[in-house]
Amino acid sequence: MGIIKTLSADLINQIAAGEVIESSHSILKELLENSIDAGAEKIEILTENAGLGKIIVSDDGHGISEEDLPLAVQRYATSKIQSFQDLENVYTFGFRGEALASIASVSHLTVDSGVGEGRTAFRVHVEDGKIKEKEMVPHFRGTKIEIRDLFYNTPVRRKFLKSEIGEEKKNRNRVQVTALAEPSVGFRYMQNGKEVLNVSKESHFERVLSVFGENLRDHLLIVRIERNGVILEGWISHPDFYKSNRTGQYFYVNKRPVELKFSSQILKKCYGELLPSGAHPYAFLFFTIPPEHLDVNVHPQKKEVRFLSEETITGLLFQGIQNVLRSSTPVEFLEMRRRLSMPIPYDRAEENRQSFGFATGAGESPGLGLPSTLPFRSHYSLEGVEPGINLFQLSDNPKKHHSFVPKKHYGIIFETFILAEAEDGLYIIDQHTAHERIRYEEVLRDLKQKAYKAQPLLTPIRIEMTKEEAEDALKHSESLEKLGILLEPFSGGTILVREVPSYIDPGKEQETILDFFERKADKDESELYDEMAKCVACRSAVKKGDQISDQIIAELLQRLSYCENPSLCPHGRPTLIKLTRYDLEKMFHRI
């Protein structure tokens, strides 16, 4: 007797479900795409218990007729393709005819649908992939799909799912990703009885802000380029506005969210050293490509697409981003900014100025961001300064910490590296990482010693976030108060910052606080101090290309001399390289 047997229809459906239905967020993807294909202008979504208890998706699309309703829940039944040639010109999302059949095989499924102006709509109940009941219901136009007890007959699938919180986050992200691509469609999402998204028809730019927060409004650069019938358009963030991970990067092909293998590398290469280490820009980019140049049928969940000419797509992405950055960043990145400001209240400046014998020539600017009324100090002793000391706080008995004290410097090469001479050799210093180390130690010391002031704001700073992000931020409000940041809820995804600490540079409050929200997670007090110090240092340090005066270079080198660890930035990158006299003489064969 042979050992090869034909599988039963039920088992075939469950295997197919394993390919298409990863979890409840996979179901949301399929149902939302079907609603969009049906011409819906408004889609309402409801989930309970991360979708494992209940999922309901309702739309006002063209609906499914009575005779088509039983076919809609059968495998390989679809209205969207009829021949092999149709696969080469797919304009719709759900075209395989597997989604409802696969869902029905692992849940209790009910589909209500009505078309046109008829007097009744129809409902089918499906269990184990089979229609158990068909009935008439009051008429409405569109489709409502209700799914209960997901994976009730495949408990092993439930066992491998993440926690409910993790699955709910995936569900929210799925709805957001879909809403981002379809600004002409309204979306309302209720999760466990709580509204987490509600957007109406709007422009594409406004949809980005509705989903991801108003804080992006002034930080996005427009991308638009076309070549050989392929269009790339969307937005990327200004180099001064970024995240500590890639969760702010979204790519679409013909409105279909896809994973482009080369996208993050191209973004990183385009921005180059405009971004600090570990920073990732926001990107909301949309390709429009003729369907005949694509194969969208290469992944069971349609996460990936295959291009007829991948080089064209890569080149378009690279050129589009570089064109925008080249035209949008020079002025801001070459102007003088408040990156060498001291983390102490300004009202001590005059007192300290008298102590150190500051002097400045007439009309001379004291440096990046220092008030014009505060002259730059030109002569003072650095002997005996305590580790990491702020130079405004020099005492009468300073104590030297490190031997690295440059006698003089010779300017900057490649808009990045300071050349300086000390007793023990020639130093090459990265101006960005060096200033990061200085600011990091200053802020960390002030946090540990509580040597800062929390400054109440006459006008609170509004931070627009998603509702999920706002709720998470407010959960940690007590920890943030320890850092001098006072938050209060406002409405929806908006929170107000009522107080900020003096160690955050003016004008950098929103960016620094948003960066900190991403990094903090659940940390103890010392770790919170460390993360905040890194955020402030990263945001306030001079960057590659910043033009700084000789006086500011001297100030930076002096302050670096008194850091606890002057040779590494907070992220572990080197700040300086030393060539000793011996190294140089050996290189020139003098010894």
Could you list the residue range(s) of the whole structural domain that residue 478 is in?
453-502+506-539
Question: Pick from 316, 314, 317, 309: which is nearest to 292 by CA?
Answer: 309
The pLDDT of residue 395 is 35
Task: Give CA–CA dist 196/467, Å, rounded.
Answer: 6
Query: In residues, how long is the chain?
Result: 591
* Better-scored residue on pLDDT, 369 or 252: 252
The pLDDT of residue 7 is 60
Task: Please name the residue that has the structure tokens 């960016």.
Answer: 511
Mean pLDDT of 498-509: 86
Query: Which CATH number does the domain housing residue 482 bear?
Result: 3.30.1370.100
Q: Which two tokens mark 47? A: 């989930």
Decide if 132 is inside a domain.
Answer: yes
The pLDDT of residue 387 is 36
Whether residues 431 and 491 fall in one domain = no
Whether residues 185 and 163 fall in one domain = yes
Decide if 93 is inside a domain.
Answer: yes
* Count of domains for the chain: 4
Whether residues 193 and 74 fall in one domain = yes
Whether residues 319 and 407 fall in one domain = no
Question: Pick from 413, 226, 396, 419: which is nearest to 313 by CA?
Answer: 226
Mean pLDDT of 301-319: 70
Whether residues 531 and 555 fall in one domain = no
Min mean pLDDT across 83-92, 218-227, 247-256, 357-366 is at: 357-366
Task: Please name the residue that has the structure tokens 């540079």.
Answer: 505
Decide if 98 is inside a domain.
Answer: yes
Most confident range (mean pLDDT) of 176-180, 403-407, 564-568 is 176-180
Instruction: Give the Cβ contact number of residue 398 at 10 Å.
Output: 18
Decide if 342 is inside a domain.
Answer: no
Whether residues 225 and 292 fall in one domain = yes
Query: pLDDT tens for residues 19-70?
Result: 557 788 888 998 999 899 889 999 999 999 988 899 999 999 999 888 888 8
Contact 389/559 with Cβ under 8 angstroms? Answer: no
The pLDDT of residue 364 is 35
Task: Give CA–CA dist 204/212, Å, rounded.
Answer: 12
The pLDDT of residue 221 is 93
Instruction: Give the Cβ contact number of residue 336 at 10 Å.
Output: 17
Average pLDDT for the chain: 76
Whether residues 251 and 128 fall in one domain = no
Task: Give CA–CA dist 126/177, Å, rounded.
Answer: 29
Question: Pick from 170, 155, 119: which is nearest to 140 by CA?
Answer: 119
0.75 exceeded by pTM: no
Q: Which two tokens mark 427? A: 């130093």
Domain boundary among 198, 225, 246: 198
In three state form, how does the secondary structure of 56-106 look? EEEECCCCCCCCCHHHHCCCCCCCCCCCHHHHCCCCCCCCCCCHHHHHHCC
Task: Give CA–CA dist 517/464, Å, rounded.
Answer: 13
Whether residues 323 and 469 fall in one domain = no
Question: Pick from 314, 283, 276: which is nearest to 221 by CA?
Answer: 283
Decide if 349 is inside a domain.
Answer: no
Whether residues 552 and 492 fall in one domain = no
Contact 35/56 with Cβ under 8 angstroms? Answer: no
**Cα dist. 88→287, 301, 307 in Å?**
18, 18, 12
**Strand-pair partners of 237:** 220
Question: Can you say how many angstroms the Cα of residue 2 is from the centroid of all Cα atoms in its chain?
Answer: 56
Min mean pLDDT across 154-168, 202-216, 559-573 is at: 154-168
* Better-scored residue on pLDDT, 462 or 393: 462
Query: Which CATH number does the domain housing residue 278 bear?
Result: 3.30.230.10
Decide if 381 is inside a domain.
Answer: no
Query: Which CATH number does the domain housing residue 159 bear?
Result: 3.30.565.10
Whether residues 114 and 145 fall in one domain = yes
The pLDDT of residue 236 is 95
Contact 23/161 with Cβ under 8 angstroms? Answer: yes
* Better-scored residue on pLDDT, 409 or 526: 409
pLDDT grade for 254, boundaries at 50, 70 and 90: confident
Rg of the chain over CA atoms, in angstroms?
30
Domain boundary among 152, 172, 198: 198
Contact 83/246 with Cβ under 8 angstroms? Answer: no
Decide if 465 is inside a domain.
Answer: yes
Min mean pLDDT across 28-42, 227-241, 339-353 is at: 339-353
Whether residues 462 and 482 fall in one domain = yes
Among residues of the chain, what percentage have pLDDT more than 70? 74
Domain boundary among 171, 198, 225: 198
Query: Which CATH number does the domain housing residue 556 bear?
Result: 3.30.1540.20
β-pairing verdict for 230-237 and 120-127: unpaired
Whether residues 87 and 175 fall in one domain = yes
Contact 483/446 with Cβ under 8 angstroms? Answer: no
Min mean pLDDT across 157-166, 257-266, 372-381, 493-502 is at: 372-381
Query: pLDDT tens for residues 570-584?
Result: 887 888 888 888 888
* Better-scored residue on pLDDT, 558 or 89: 558
Is the predicted pLDDT of residue 96 greater than 50, yes or no? no
Decide if 583 is inside a domain.
Answer: yes
Question: Can you say how many angstroms the Cα of residue 42 is from the centroid of all Cα atoms in its chain?
Answer: 27
Task: Give CA–CA dist 170/189, Å, rounded.
Answer: 13
The pLDDT of residue 550 is 81
In the three-class reduction of DSSP (H, G, I as helix; E, B as strand; rest coil), residue 340 is classed as coil
